[in-house]
Amino acid sequence: MSTPSLLTGKWLYRALLQQAQQLPDTHVTDHYRHLIKSDFRKPLPLDRSRAHDRTVQAQKVSSRVPLRPSLLRSAHTTQRTDPWGGGGGLVPVRFVRRSQLLRRLMAANEGHLHAIERVLDQAYQRKGKGSHTLLEPFLSPSRQTKLFNSPSLRSLLTSPLSHTSRNPTAKQLDTPPTLPPRAFPHSEEARLMGPLIPQRVKAIRRRYWNSQTGKIKKPLAVLVQGSEPGQEGEGMKREDLLKKVGLVGLGQDLEKVGRERLQLLERWTSVGRDERPRRSRRLRGVSSALIGPEEEGSSTWTDSTRLRLSSSAKEKDEGAGAKTSEPRKASSSRTTTTTIPNLSLPKWSTPKVLRPRFMRRRYEALLEDAPIVTVEGKAAGTKGGGDAKRDGDKNKEKDKKNSTSDGPADQERQVWVKVRLSEFAKSGNGRLGKVGEEDAWWIDR
């Protein structure tokens, strides 16, 4: 991948839009086009727009007595020593940031794995500034009340599906392991040296909660479910459900966006029945002379194709034996090339064409790091979140692996908070996601 030169102004703007338009996902394309347009149309403050001019004037004035680069550099410029093949000097930060985005989009379009994963994470708000807006409704009640007793936040913290490291238990949330022995009044240290003041204990608890909330995977969607009105045990209102679990700040727009994003990812991951699987790279690389025109467009490896390959290899062996008296190994004559046509890359290099199967694997990996929070409310006397008890021990163990819940938030109106993964997500614990049509086709072969 050739590194682009330092583009500025409309040239950089056009190059960014062109690379964003070539991304393989329409949602990712719309996200980056909106991001690029809003970034270029955003007016700069007066001091920021003239920062580079002031540094240039300072360099001219101090030509006899050169100053240190740190004195000439402002908050909106950075020092670059020939990064794009041109002369070094002070470059505005906005040009550097946009040039980095241009190189990232170019790498994603060329098929580099790290760039594609980073582009998808930012577009679907797995990383970056947008990811903090998804976690804000879970943290806002604790910040206002100064009490960390939100059922929804406790469910995220205690669930292994939404924690990047070892998830704490409910007992550890109530009594953090970072508390010293003096925090307990009946301990020997508290009797000898005196107990800690309440402000100190409160600060230790807050730091422990802040460290644990920083390890939470941002939820992809919050699904609010309740019993349908008109039935026995009429369902609760949406506001009452969210109030009981501590999600008052969750608006309907944010819930709708999360639900649509989840449906979009699951649709990109699944394969329709009418879509035939593509042949592998090795099958597409076999010489077309051995495959008939009626089978060239087929995506199946039939017995007739295998017989034709074996017969052609046998004819080659007989012809080679008639010409030369020296015997040849059968394995060397049957060896076929597996190079990809019109692609001058080694077999271990990244292909220039993003295959649908490759992108589906990226979406499965994206859903693996995207927990889904389900808030289910049932009236008294109904079974809310009790599917595991009703279906037996086998389904109970399966439900424990796929979802976690912290129990009813209230006895009169049972509100259950569950954390689960999508059925299309790829799990690193040995559990496979939902098998699509293409995966079933490859398993049968």
CA–CA distance, 407 with 417 (Å, rounded to integer): 7
For residue 414, give the nearest of 390, 387, 384 by alpha carbon. 384
- What's the rounded Cα separation, in Å, for the pair 104 and 362? 17
pLDDT at residue 128, rounded to an integer: 84
**Which stretches of the chain drop beneath a pLDDT of 70?**
1-8, 44-92, 142, 144-147, 226-236, 271-353, 378-413, 427-439, 441-442, 445
User: Distance between CA 247 and CA 12 in Å, rounded?
Assistant: 42
- pTM (2 d.p.): 0.65
What is residue 272's predicted lDDT score, i.e. its pLDDT? 60
Q: Which of 104, 80, 100 is nearest to 92 (CA)?
A: 80
3-state secondary structure of 403: strand
* 24 vs 357: CA distance, rounded Å: 12
What residue spans define the domains of the chain?
9-60+88-123, 216-269+352-427
Give the model's pLDDT for residue 399. 46
**Among candidates 78, 70, 75, which has minimal Cα distance to 95?**
78
pLDDT at 180: 92
User: For 410, left (φ over 0), alpha (ψ -120 to 50), or beta?
Assistant: beta
From CA 30, how far away is CA 53, in angstroms rounded? 35
CA distance 220 to 421: 10
CA distance 337 to 335: 7
CA pair distance 320, 317, nearest whole angstrom: 5
How far is residue 409's CA from residue 414's CA, in Å, rounded to a whole number? 6
Task: Summarize pLDDT for 298-350 with one digit per residue, the tens.
Answer: 444 445 544 554 565 555 555 555 544 454 444 333 333 333 344 444 444 45
